[in-house]
Amino acid sequence: MKRLILKKLVVISQKNEEARIIEFDNKLNIITGQDPDPDKVTINRTGKSLLIKSIYYSLGAKLSKYTTNWDNLKIATMLNFVYDGKTYVIYRNKDKFVMHYDSKLSFFSNISELRESLIDLFNFKIRMPIKKDDEAVVYAYPGAIFMPFYIDQDKGWSGSWDSFSDIFSGNWKQEVLLYHMGVRTPRYYDLLDEKVELEIKQKENKRQENTLNIITKKHIEKYSNYLDINIDLDAFAEEMAGLTYELNVQMNKRNEIKEELVSCFNQMREIEELHAIAEKVYNELIKDVDYIENEISEDFIICPICGTPHENSIHNRFNIYSEIEECEDTIQRYFEDRNKIEKQVKKLTDELKSVEDYVSKINEILERKREKVTFREVVVAEGSKSILSELNDELTIIKNNYIVAQKRLNEIRKEQTAITKEGKIIIDTYLEKVKMYFDALNVTDISEADLKKFKKSFDSGGNDLPCAILAQVFAIYNVSIKFSRTVSAPIVLDAIFQQEPAIEKINTIWDFVLNNQPVDSQLIISTTEMHNRNVEGKIFRLTQERGLLNTSDYLEEKDNIEYYKNALLQWLKVKNKDDKEEARH
C-alpha cells in the first residue's frame, strides 16, 4: 500500500486576497481553537472545519456540507503532497484543476477528468454498479478514495459514512470499505466486468436460439407435406432419420415434463397432509391454552385431550405458545407453497400441450403416405430442406458459443470463490482489530452478532457511536496497509470529541488515538480544546473567530498562486479556441 502524505495546504480567498498556509507534520497534527495562554477563553468558529474540508476540496472530493462562509470567500486551494515518494502540487480554482508533477503541468476542466487521473494515480479501480443486465459500469468519484479515513464533524459521526456526497447509495459504501481493506481487488472487478459481458452474451445467445427454434418449428409446420419428398433415396433416409431423432427428443422432453408434474402432485399431497396435521395440533393446543388459562391457580393441569397431568408452569405454557406459533407458521407456508406448486403445474401443463402438438406434427410427416410427386413439390421440398439446413447450422454455431461462454463463466466463478476465501482472512483480521479497539475505547453498546461478520456501520448509541466509528476507522486503516494495493490516505478526524463526553471519556479517546496511531500513518485531528494534553507533533492554534485567512500568508504564496492561476487561464483560452475550431469543422 502506497502512502499519501500531506505536506502543505494553502487555502485562498481570491475575493479578499487572503490565505492561510498550513505545513503538516508527517506523523501527528492537531488543529485546535485553544489559545496557549490559559487566561484566554477558548472559542469556536475559528476555521478548523474549513481548513480540513479544504484538503478534500483540493482533491476534487465533493463534501456533504460546506461551511457557511465558503461561497462568500470564493475559496481556491493549493495542496502539496507526497505519494509513493513523489511530490505533487494540485491547484483548484472553482471546478478547474492544475496538477504539477515532475516539472509538468496537467490541466482538468472538471472533476470527472480529474477523477480519471486520480484513479490511475492511486490505483483505485473499484467499479460500480456491476450487476446482471446492467451495462452502466462507472468508476468511483474522489470521495470514495478517502471515505474510510475522513470523519467530518457535520455528517461523519453518524455512522453512515456520509462525509462525502459523491459516493453513490446502495452497496457503494460497503464496496468502498471492502476495496480499501483488500477484500475487493482490481482482479475481482475485472472478473465482474467479464462476467457481466458474458451473461449479456448468453442472454442474446438464448434469445437467438429460441428465435431459430420457433422459425424452424413454423417452417416444418408450413412445409410438412413436402419435407419427405426426396428424389435421392439416401438423402430421404437421412431426412427421415433426422425426423425420427427429433421425435425421440420431443418424446423424452414430454416424459420429463410428466415426471415433473408427478413430482408437483406428490409435493401437493405432502403439504396438504402436513397442513391437516398442523391444523389438528393447532386446535388441540388452543384447547390446552383455554384450559390452562381457566385453571391458572392449579399446580398441575390434566390435559383435556389425553388425560396426562402437566405441571402448570411458565415454561410449559411458553412451550405451548411456541408450538402454536410453529403451527401457525406451517399453516401460512402451506398456502404459499400451494400457490407456487399450482403455478408450476400450470406452466408444465402448457409446456406439455405445446410438446404434444409438436409431436403430432412430426408423426403426421412420418406416417403420411407418399403421393405423386410433382415438379413443383420437388422444388419446394428442396428449398425447404435447404432453409432447414441453414437454420440448423446457425443453431449449432449459437449452441457452441453458449457452451464456450458457459465454460468461461464457470472458470470465473471458481476464481471469484478463491478471492472470496482470501477475503475472509482479511475480514477476520479486521474483526479482531475492531474488538480490541472497542475494548480500549470501552464501547459497551454493541451486539455480539455485530462482531462476527463485517458490517459497514454499527448501531451503538450515545457516546459509544463516535467511539465505535473511531475504532472502525483505525481497524480499516490497519487492515488496509497490510492487505490492500490502493492508496494509504491520512486519517483525518474533525471535531473528535462528540456528544460532549465526560472527562473520563475524553481521556480514553486521547489515550486511544495517541497510543494506537497506525505505524507510518499521518494523523490530523481537530478539537476545540486540548484538555491539557502534550503531544509530539504539530499543533495549529486557530484562536481568532472567523480569522482563519490573512494577508501576510497570501503575499507569501502570491507568486505560486499567480503562477498556477495564469497557467490555468492560458490553458482555458487555448482549449476554448480549439473547441471552437472543432465545432466549425
Report d(CA 131, CA 286) in Å as an integer. Answer: 49
pLDDT number for residue 89: 97
Quote the DSSP letter at residue 44: S
pLDDT number for residue 239: 66
Banded pLDDT at 237 (limits 50, 70, 90) = low
pLDDT number for residue 370: 43
The answer to whether residue 369 scores a pLDDT higher than 80 is no
Length of the chain: 585
Report d(CA 403, CA 415) in Å as an integer. Answer: 19
**Is residue 412 a contact partner of residue 194, using CB atoms and an 8 Å limit?**
yes
Would you state the cell numbers that stand for residue 18, as one nine-digit string? 487572503
pLDDT number for residue 233: 47
pLDDT number for residue 308: 56
pLDDT number for residue 436: 95
Quote the DSSP letter at residue 80: E
pLDDT number for residue 501: 81
Which of the residue ranges 161-175, 393-407, 410-424 would you say has the lowest mean pLDDT?
161-175
pLDDT number for residue 566: 95
Banded pLDDT at 11 (limits 50, 70, 90) = very high
Report d(CA 313, CA 316) in Å as an integer. Answer: 5
Q: 210: closest CA among 384, 391, 410?
A: 391
Where is pLDDT greater, at 173 or 44?
Answer: 173
pLDDT number for residue 224: 65
Report d(CA 476, CA 479) in Å as an integer. Answer: 5
pLDDT number for residue 332: 80
Cell 499543533 -> residue: 539
pLDDT number for residue 88: 97
Would you state the cell numbers that stand for residue 284, as one nine-digit string? 388441540
Report d(CA 494, CA 462) in Å as an integer. Answer: 18
Banded pLDDT at 372 (limits 50, 70, 90) = very low
Average pLDDT over residues 280-293: 74
Mean pLDDT, the chain, rounded, equals 84
The answer to whether residue 556 scores a pLDDT higher than 60 is yes
Banded pLDDT at 218 (limits 50, 70, 90) = confident
The answer to whether residue 354 scores a pLDDT higher than 80 is yes
Which of the residue ranges 114-128, 294-308, 453-467, 506-520 would you say has the lowest mean pLDDT?
294-308
Report d(CA 28, CA 539) in Å as an integer. Answer: 9
Domain boundaries, the chain: 2-166+488-512+519-584, 197-416
Which residues are bridge partners to 82 per DSSP? 5, 87
Report d(CA 10, CA 564) in Å as an integer. Answer: 13
Which residues are bridge partners to 138 per DSSP? 128
The answer to whether residue 32 scores a pLDDT higher than 80 is yes
Report d(CA 482, CA 520) in Å as an integer. Answer: 12
Q: Which of 36-40, 64-68, 387-391 has the highest mean pLDDT?
A: 64-68
Share of the chain above pLDDT 90, in %: 37
Average pLDDT over residues 157-168: 84
Would you state the cell numbers that stand for residue 543, as one nine-digit string? 484562536
- What are 57-113's pLDDT values in tens digits? 999 999 888 888 888 888 999 999 999 999 999 999 999 999 999 999 999 999 999
Q: 333: closest CA among 269, 281, 264, 274?
A: 274
Which residues are bridge partners to 540 per DSSP? 31
- The two counts, helices (H) then strands (E), for the chain are 12, 16
Report d(CA 281, CA 285) in Å as an integer. Answer: 6
Number of neighbouring beta carbons within 10 Å of residue 318: 10
The answer to whether residue 195 scores a pLDDT higher than 50 is yes
- What are 291-301's pLDDT values in tens digits? 666 655 555 55
The answer to whether residue 231 scores a pLDDT higher than 60 is no
The answer to whether residue 374 scores a pLDDT higher than 80 is no
pLDDT number for residue 325: 76
Which of the residue ranges 56-60, 303-307, 476-480, 563-567 would you say has the lowest mean pLDDT?
303-307
Average pLDDT over residues 235-245: 67
The answer to whether residue 139 scores a pLDDT higher than 60 is yes
The answer to whether residue 564 scores a pLDDT higher than 90 is yes
The answer to whether residue 270 scores a pLDDT higher than 80 is yes
Average pLDDT over residues 277-287: 79
Entry pTM: 0.68
Q: According to CATH, what is the number of the domain 2-166+488-512+519-584?
A: 3.40.50
Name the percent of the chain in helix, strand, coil, to the closest 5.
60, 15, 30
Report d(CA 427, CA 319) in Å as an integer. Answer: 39
Report d(CA 47, CA 546) in Å as an integer. Answer: 6
Where is pLDDT greater, at 333 or 41?
Answer: 333
pLDDT number for residue 305: 45
- What are 344-353's pLDDT values in tens digits? 888 888 888 8
